[in-house]
Structure 1
Amino acid sequence: MKRMHPKVTKAYLVQERHLFYCRIRIKIPAQYSESLLNACFERLEWIDRRYNAYQYGSYFEQINRYAGQWVQVDQACLHMLHTTTMLSAITQGSYDITCMPWIRLWGFYKKIQHTIPTAEAIAGQRARVNYKNIEIQGHSVRIAKGQEICTGSFIKAYAVDQAMAFLKSNGVTDALINAGGSTIIGINDRSHDSWKIHIPSAFTPGEYTDRLELCNQCFSLSGRLNSQVTLAGKSFGHIVNSKTGYPATTAQVGLLTDTAFLGDVLSTALFTVDAKTFIPTLESLQKQIDFRYYRLEADGQKISNICL
């Protein structure tokens, strides 16, 4: 009679902290030390201070504060700008990191707002939203006077990539970093073939509709359910189509990519694109970048090449 061996559950160390306006959870095998997790979070905090537009003295905060003047930046900052402006060009401006005037206008930084912005108010901010006004010369960057870059679509993901790279450099081959459920990156080895992650409903808070196996990849999620404002009895999501100045009506976009940074930028970009231009935009992106995706519209229609 064949003896059945019980399945061994692998032990992990876990730490969770609040950074980048979300809970970030890092999980590594128990053979490592808490000090490694502490150092990993220190790396995340360093990136937050160095690049987050909301941190005084960071590169992007200086670019915004000195709008109209040249600001010296590093190579990582240039990489982020080159990638985001490339995607702005492909989406014909529906994704634009200079979208902060739209975001403020729609009340995402106000405690109370009751009215929908008028067409005149939206038109009045249009000149301030234009990625083409981001100038780069060597290691110097300048935006137009009155402009403001929003790092929300990419800075958290860039930090997550750097944290995972730090773990790998310390010999870790099996780990998971979950940043608020919208940026999840996992690496695996022979001892653990994949991570199982649950995908939340695009329409019902607290519900999960699908499960995905993650193996040496990143899953990025853009949605409107948990980040909305209600104006005149109608809900509006926080991701704005910068071609129109109005919040995008997409329900949810999920992507599988090799890096968190690329995944988060792409998921946001594909979220902003209107339904009529989604397919040609998708085809243009897939000519340059390898990724798998799904997109769920407000009416529940889904287009996908991910097996869920």
Structure 2
Amino acid sequence: MLQKVPKQYLAQTRRIFHCNCKIKIPIEFGEQLLEKSFEVLEEIDRKYNSYVSGSFFNRINEMRGSWVTVDKDCIEMINTIQKVSVITKGHYDITCMPLLRLWGFYKEDNHKLPKSDELAYALEKVNFRSILTDGLNIKINTEQEIITGSFIKAFAVDKTIAFLKSQGVTDAVINAGGSTISSLNDASHPAWKINIPDPFNKEAFKTGLEISSQTFSLSGSVDNHLVIDGKKYGHILNCITGYPAETLQTGVLTKSAFLGDVLSTALFTVPAVMRNEVTAELKKHFDFDYFIIDNDNKKILAECFQYLR
């Protein structure tokens, strides 16, 4: 009796989008295709990342108050993001950079809470409705700044998955920082099993979630938070109050990595009292499953999303 030979893969990890990005493809496609796949990620980083000088979103920020010509992808991303921001009633807002700077997420150390008048002043600059589009042009207010952290890495993953499919790849996985994991699957390998970090124990994982030509998107504050007066404050902000959101972790299953990252961040920002209403409205526009974990360890599981097995 012949023994089945395990399928072999090529894998490589590189530092892109301020995180470790790993691509894994069947070995028969070779190192050259792996190299070209990373080139797709790197091109999106250069072209759209708000932290990269000369990118579309960096130019929008640098030329705030003036119209900036962009491309179709920029406009489509902004249109989707603004729709989600409307549904979350502004709790998710990509113009939140003034708040992030105020809290000290871009300082080496910070040991004090923002004062109420400082928060009020920063909040005046945060308003997704002030992102204007006209054809292939975008303009923001003179004191605004867009941050692409909640969506651009996932957008790059979508582009890379599309590239792999165009090259005939039907079995692959991309893991971008653990927060965006996107797969291709076929009959020879119907699913990829992934681990989800336990929000209460950095060293532990929940196991058993399988994705099949899907994306799993994760938002959490375990690895990115401030400690002020002994209390942890996460980096994902409620853009209505100006304070870090109280949620511990959200996970979303979608076909699109971009949409998954937007929704996982958006759901993270929404207060518990609004969650059912907001989620029901999001479901009218987008196809996704999700879970949410609050500080009291209360889980919300949507339909067929098997978080624990």
Partner of residue 148, structure 1: 145
Which amino acid counterpart does residue 102 of structure 2 have in structure 1?
Answer: L
Q: Secondary structure at the match of 1:191?
A: coil
Which amino acid counterpart does residue 38 of structure 1 have in structure 2?
Answer: E
Structure 1 residue 211 displacement after superposition? 2.2
C-alpha distance in 1, partners of 2:296/2:278?
Answer: 21
Structure 1 residue 8 displacement after superposition? 2.8
Task: Verify: 1:290 aligned to 2:287, yes or no.
Answer: yes
Partner of residue 197, structure 1: 194
Deviates more, 1:209-218 or 1:170-179: 209-218
Task: Verify: 1:160 aligned to 2:157, yes or no.
Answer: yes
**Which residue of 12, 20, 23 corresponds with 2:20?**
23
* TM-score where L is the length of structure 1: 0.98
Q: Deviations over 1:76-104 (max 9, x none)?
A: 00011111111000000000000101111
C-alpha distance in 2, partners of 1:232/1:190?
Answer: 53
Task: Verify: 1:37 aligned to 2:27, yes or no.
Answer: no
Q: Deviations over 1:189-231 (max 9, x none)?
A: 1111110001110111111023201101000000011111111
Matched ranges for 1:230-249 at <5 A: 230-249=227-246
C-alpha distance in 2, partners of 1:216/1:209?
Answer: 21
C-alpha distance in 1, partners of 2:22/2:208?
Answer: 19
C-alpha distance in 2, partners of 1:74/1:23?
Answer: 27
C-alpha distance in 1, partners of 2:211/2:135?
Answer: 38
Q: Secondary structure at the match of 2:158?
A: helix
Task: Verify: 1:76 aligned to 2:73, yes or no.
Answer: yes
Partner of residue 273, structure 2: 276
Matched ranges for 1:1-308 at <5 A: 6-305=3-302, 306-308=305-307
Q: Deviations over 1:30-80 (max 9, x none)?
A: 111101010111111111010000000100000000110110000000011
Q: Secondary structure at the match of 2:202?
A: coil
**Structure 1 moving runs of 4+ over 6 Å:** none
* TM-score where L is the length of structure 2: 0.97
Instruction: Point out where structure 1 has 5 or more consecutive residues left out of the alignment.
Output: none
Structure 1 residue 126 displacement after superposition? 1.3
Instruction: Point out where structure 2 has 5 or more consecutive residues left out of the alignment.
Output: none
C-alpha distance in 1, partners of 2:284/2:207?
Answer: 28
Which amino acid counterpart does residue 174 of structure 2 have in structure 1?
Answer: I
Structure 1 residue 281 displacement after superposition? 0.2
Which amino acid counterpart does residue 303 of structure 1 have in structure 2?
Answer: I
Which amino acid counterpart does residue 84 of structure 1 have in structure 2?
Answer: I
Structure 1 residue 9 displacement after superposition? 1.1
Q: Deviations over 1:249-295 (max 9, x none)?
A: 10100010001000000000000000000110000000111111100
C-alpha distance in 2, partners of 1:42/1:209?
Answer: 32
Structure 1 residue 7 displacement after superposition? 4.0
C-alpha distance in 2, partners of 1:297/1:9?
Answer: 40
C-alpha distance in 2, partners of 1:279/1:106?
Answer: 29
C-alpha distance in 2, partners of 1:211/1:238?
Answer: 28
What CA RMSD, in Å, does the superposition of the two structures yield over aligned residues? Answer: 0.9
C-alpha distance in 2, partners of 1:6/1:109?
Answer: 55
Structure 1 residue 240 displacement after superposition? 0.2
Q: Secondary structure at the match of 2:25?
A: strand
C-alpha distance in 1, partners of 2:20/2:267?
Answer: 24
Structure 1 residue 118 displacement after superposition? 1.2
Which amino acid counterpart does residue 44 of structure 1 have in structure 2?
Answer: L
Structure 1 residue 120 displacement after superposition? 1.3
